[in-house]
Structure formats: C-alpha cells, structure tokens
Amino acid sequence: MALLRSYVSGRWHTPAVDGAPLHDAVTGEEIARISSAGVDMAAALEHGRRVGGPALRELTFHQRAALLKVLASHLTEHKDELYALSTRTGATQRDSLVDVDGGIGVLFTYSGKGRRELPNAKVLAEGPVERLSKGGTFVGRHIASPLRGVAVQINAFNFPVWGPLEKFAPAFVAGVPSLVKPASQTAYVTEKLVELIISSGILPEGSLQLVSGSAGDLLDHLTPQDLVAFTGSAATARKLRAHDTVVRNSVRFNAEADSLNCSILGPDAAPGSTEFDLFVKQLVNEMTVKAGQKCTAIRRAFVPATHIDAVAEAVSARLAKTTIGNPANPEVRMGALAGLEQREEVRRSLKSLADAGTIVFGDPDHVEVIDADPERGAFLSPILLRADDPDRAEPHEVEAFGPVSTLMPYTGTDHVIALAARGLGSLVGSVVTGDADFATEVVLGAAPWHGRLLVLDADDAKESTGHGSPLPALIHGGPGRAGGGEEMGGIRAVLHHLQRTAVQASPKVLAKITGEWVEGAPRREEEVHPFRKSLADLRVGDSVVAGPRTVTQQDIDHFSEFTGDTFYAHTNPEAAAANEFFGGIVAHGYLIVSFAAGLFVSPEPGPVLANYGLENLRFLTPVFPGDTLTVTLTAKQITPRETADYGEVRWDAEITKQDGTPAAKYDVLTLVAKN
C-alpha cells in the first residue's frame, strides 16, 4: 500500500515504517498509509527560515501575487486529478467544487488583491505619516515587514484543498514560507495538491513544505518569528494554543474551530413566502453539502414558534428527496462522511442531542444508499431534530459534525438574539427575512457573537453565495468557541504575517526607509519636467513647482456658467457674505484643482499615459477673487506593474496662496510608461 510522503527540507521523504491505514470513505477499502516517522521537524522549519524565507523576500508583494496567479492556472489544468481523490473522501462533484475550485479561487483572489491593495515593494508603509513635533522634523509611520519564520498551517479533514490554500495564499503574498500539516484522514488529497505545486517549479524552493502524518514535536521548535494557523476542533485548538513553546515565544496563533452556527427565520416569513422557501432550501443545503461536515454548517435553526410545524414538514419533505450514496454517481446529492470513525462520533453526539429533542427526520442507524454498501462506506442519513425547549443546553453545546441540525422555536426578537448568543461565539449566522427592521435588530444584536452574518431575502438570494461559504475577501473566523481568530480573510490575512513596527525619524530618513516621499523630505526640482520621465528615470521626490496664477472674478463667473455649478457661494455676493465659512464670493474647489492641473501638466505626448483619479482631496482655505495660486507636485509613490509596460505614480499635490497658506491638498494618480 502506498505510503504518503512528506515534502520537507527540499525533498520528498517516505517513512520507513508501515504507517496507519487510511480508508476510502465510500468503499472502506484501504487507500494509503500515513506516518510522519523520520521527518526532522526542526530541520524542516529551519529549511523554511533559511531557504524559503530569503527567496520569498527577494520578491515584492506584487511579484509574489503574480506567481499565485500562475500557480492557480496550473492547478486549474490539473484539477481532475484532485477531483478523483476527493471522491474517495466521500465528496460529491458539488462538494469537490467547493473544496478544489474554491481553493484555486482563493489563489486568484489573493493574486488580484495583493496587486491592487499592496505596493509593489518589499515592505509595506502603512497608514498616514504622524507628525510628532511642532517643527515637522520628527515624524512617525508604521511599516510592516515579513516575519522571518515559517507559517505552520494545521488543517481539518473536511477541506483538504481549500484548507491549505486559504492559509498558504496570504502567507505567500506576505513573503512567509508555509509548512502544511493536513489532517491525517484526507491527507492523500493534500499530498497530491502539494505534489502538483512542487513539481510545477513555480514557487521558490522552501516556500511550501508538507508534513503527512502526526505533527510530532513540530511545535516544540517554534521561534518567536513563526506562526501557527489552526483549523479543527475547539478541543485541539485549546491544547495547541496552550502549548508551552507557543506560549513562551508568543507565537502568533490563529484558530478557526468548530461552532454551533445558527440560521434564523424572520417572523414575517410565513409558509408560502419566498423567504420561507429560501430558509428551508438553505437549511437542507447546509445539512447535505459535504454531508454536513462543514464548520460553517447550520447546527441550530431558530424559527418563530408559530411556524415550527410547517418548517419541520417542509425540511423533512426536501430531505426525503435527497439521494445518498456513491458520490461518483451523478444522481447522488449527498456522499459519505469522511470515515467510519467520524460516523461513530456523529452518532455519539446525536445521542446527547436526542436528550433535548426528538428526531423528526432520519434514522441514525439506517440509510438507503445508491451504488454503495451502507455499512462499508461511512453513510449516514441526514437527521433533523426538534427541541421544543430551546433553553436546553445540548443544542447550543454539542456539535454533531455531520448532516445534523436542530429546529428550535423562538418567541420574539430579543429571545432569538439571546438564543443565537448561546453558541458562545460562532463562525457564521444567517437571518432569512424580508423585513429589514427585523434583520437590522438581529444583526446588530447578534454581531458580537459572530464572525460573519448573512441576511438572505428575495433580493439577494439569486446571487448570494450562501450561509456556509467563507469568502476569500471577508473574515473567516469567529469569536469565543469559534476560536477567536479574525485574522484570516482579505488583506488582513497578509498583514497577519507581517510585523508592524512604528518608525520614528526625520522625514528624509523615513522617506528613504519606506520608499515613499513624505512631507518635509527633500524634493528634487530638475530642468526636466517629471512628466517627461518614464518609470525608469522618475524618482520619488522628483517635483515641479508651477504658477503663479491669479484667480479673477471673471474666472469664477465663467466656470459657473460653463459647468452649471451656480452654487450661491460662487454667484450670489450677499448670500456668500452671510456664509460663516466664506464671508464673500469664493472660487469653486474644482476650479482650483483644474487651474492646478493647468499649471503643472506638461502637455506633449510622453510617458504619462493617463490621470486615473484623485485621492484625499481637501480644500483647506477659501480662495477669493484676486488670490494667486502656486502648485507643487511631487512624486510620492512609484508602483511599476508586474504584467504591463506601465505602472502607477502617486503624486503629492499642494496648492498654496500668495502668502503660503495651503488652499488644497490631494494625491494625483497617474499611469506612467516604464520606458
């Protein structure tokens, strides 16, 4: 039988022992064996730090993000190989789509976000420059730089592709190497994924390693620069978070654990309404996708007491139509649990849940299956419970990690908010209602206990991604029982892998360190206008001072007529005089900005291709007829694009009046050719 390999210290390692058997969830047949015996965990971490880290840090955020796109395309070409193995975990085609395509989608998303939201630089200058002294010679700004360690990523068995990729992508963009430890039960899918990645040669060596089998003494070797991102049960999260080395070295520890997520049907959604049907459909979907083995699945379904019979009936009718069996058979809607042990665990949890309620659909010990043997494969009927006393503890505490959900009645808005909170922290909740007031009250009341809340109604249903799907752009974790992690999802997950440092210095030194011009740093005025310089020649600090130009009453009248902006402050002397901010006719803000452009541009065709916007525009003091304007334009940030022959240049623009008072300040955004 094949032994799963680990990829550590730059080579594939095959254990020299028999290993523990892993079984096909559908047929019970042995698929592979697994053991991490002989893996030198300390050496693997050191390899990441010494080889992977430096190679990644040679690249900019954009260069790493661009590699993710190449990798995503490569995996797309090979996804059938992953699908084939995914079926053996009990996953249907629909389930594999969530795992495999969802995982590849995360790579595409981080590739795009990394290039749009981060600079094409090796360090991130974050937030505004803080003036720390009166004279302006002492300023501060935060920089964020990649941690010099390894991101250890420990995953749950239910998403062997999406799980590793959702953690690897932000670590990679950040410039931190990953060491992936998948859950043993489905590690054969992750082994294939890592094999596809490593053999592609797309990533720098050391940026991704794999440990198949138990983690052994891995955590003992963590340093303060390493991180741990864990997905799995709350019990394991608790244990690992308290690991001596993790505590001693203040290792960043992110946990996404199990939770008792709820879905709430609004009181307006009576049987026959669109929202009633949406609620029923979503609940059945969440119970049956991945055979309910999703940390985000709906475990608690709260419905108005008056509608509970109708909901129980409608959900049961729909569940009765769910075909169960061999996931390779296209007629099958729900496959198997990940293994027989998992099924036993769900049955044990069901016993506790049944103390608090009754089963209204399904039989934990019997299920009809298509194209498979119900005893050899880990098949289980979907089970809908009904707990008429929603104050019982069990439904709020016991997670049956399978196709199991409990219906409970509520009596009013405050009651249902209190019930939602009894999960003591959840990854996600949903409210299905056509009543925006009810939705608002529930969302604001339940938000502190949730990482994510979905409001589902007739308007968004068609395009909604549903209750159970964590999205790469939004946070994943949840408070309390859900693990307390809110670092993953979106660019915040990249930042999680960076160390934020407050740098205090003079403007000149700060500009040098961050690679961005800051106010007070030297400007360079040369004979050549900065608009005549391509990215190859342009330097941060290059500037042009243009003007003066006097604004006349005629200019203001003309601008009013020409644009139709006849706001009284520009056209009605009495009304303008009565305005406490102006005291008389003032020039339009947009006129001032337009005059500034007229002053600073260099008009002939050249490397500047387009002006694509302004940011942070502030009009600081009114400009009256007769005032004279001067504008200073300074190249502030230069961001060449990796995949185009141009890049972005952000310019600092400051318009001052004859006495030096600032009239307006803003950033001008342009596209400039590389050569």
Residues at the contact surface with ligand NAP, assessed by CB under 6 A: 154-158, 181, 183-185, 214-215, 231-233, 236, 239-240, 256-258, 295, 399, 401, 427, 483
Q: What is the 3-state secondary structure (H, E, C) of 567-632?
A: CHHHHCHHHHHHCCCCCCCCCCHHHHHHHHHHHHCCCCCCCEEEEEEEEEEEECCCCCCCCEEEEE
DSSP letters for 154-206: E--SS-TTHHHHHHHHHHHHHT--EEEE--GGGHHHHHHHHHHHHHHT-SPTT
Q: How far is the CB of 186 from ligand NAP (least distance, A)?
A: 9
Catalytic residue among 166, 191, 256, 642: 256
Helix (H) or strand (E) holding 456: strand 450-456
Beta carbon nearer to ligand NAP, 258 or 654: 258
d(CA 177, CA 148): 9
Handedness of CA 44, 50, 55, 57 (dihedral sign): positive
Helix (H) or strand (E) holding 383: strand 383-386
Q: How far is the CB of 381 from ligand NAP (least distance, A)?
A: 20
Beta carbon nearer to ligand NAP, 346 or 672: 346
d(CA 181, CA 160): 10
Beta carbon nearer to ligand NAP, 166 or 642: 166
Beta carbon nearer to ligand NAP, 231 or 282: 231
| Strand partners of residue 385 | 359, 406
Question: What burial letters (b/e) apply to 152-179, b meaning 16+ CB within 10 Å?
Answer: bbbbbbbbbbbbbbbbbbbbbbbbbbbb
Beta carbon nearer to ligand NAP, 217 or 363: 217
The answer to whether residue 256 is catalytic is: yes
The answer to whether residue 526 is catalytic is: no
Q: How far is the CB of 16 from ligand NAP (least distance, A)?
A: 19
Q: How far is the CB of 148 from ligand NAP (least distance, A)?
A: 23
Contact 409, 434 (CB under 8 A): no
Sheet with 261-265, edge to edge strand ranges:
358-361, 383-386, 404-410, 298-304, 261-265, 426-432, 450-456
Which long-range CB contacts under 8 A does 13-20 form with residues at least 24 apart?
Answer: 13/38, 13/39, 15/39, 15/213, 19/213, 20/184, 20/213
Cβ atoms within 10 Å of 630's Cβ, excluding its own: 18
Beta carbon nearer to ligand NAP, 353 or 591: 353
**Residue with structure tokens 């965990």?**
41
d(CA 71, CA 432): 38
Beta carbon nearer to ligand NAP, 120 or 186: 186
Q: How far is CA 472 from the centre of its chain?
A: 4
**Identity of the residue numbered 536:** A
Contact 395, 407 (CB under 8 A): no
Beta carbon nearer to ligand NAP, 179 or 664: 179
Q: How far is the CB of 170 from ligand NAP (least distance, A)?
A: 14
Contact 472, 106 (CB under 8 A): yes
Contact 369, 325 (CB under 8 A): yes
Q: CB burial class (10 A; 0-12, 13-18, 19+) of residue 250?
A: exposed
Residue 394 is given by DSSP the state H
Q: How far is the CB of 285 from ligand NAP (least distance, A)?
A: 17
Q: How far is the CB of 361 from ligand NAP (least distance, A)?
A: 22
DSSP alpha helices (H): ranges in 90-142? Answer: 93-96, 102-117
Helix (H) or strand (E) holding 208: strand 208-210
Beta carbon nearer to ligand NAP, 309 or 394: 394
Q: How far is the CB of 589 from ligand NAP (least distance, A)?
A: 48
Nearest residue to ligand NAP by CB is 232
d(CA 342, CA 503): 51
Q: How far is the CB of 184 from ligand NAP (least distance, A)?
A: 4
Q: How far is the CB of 445 from ligand NAP (least distance, A)?
A: 23
Question: 182: cis peptide before it, omega within 30°?
Answer: no
Beta carbon nearer to ligand NAP, 364 or 477: 477
Catalytic residue among 166, 286, 295, 487: 295
Both tokens of residue 363? 């039989």
Residue 523 is given by DSSP the state -
DSSP alpha helices (H): ranges in 242-358? Answer: 244-248, 274-288, 308-320, 340-356
Q: How far is the CB of 295 from ligand NAP (least distance, A)?
A: 3
Beta carbon nearer to ligand NAP, 103 or 647: 103
Residue numbers annotated as active site:
256, 295
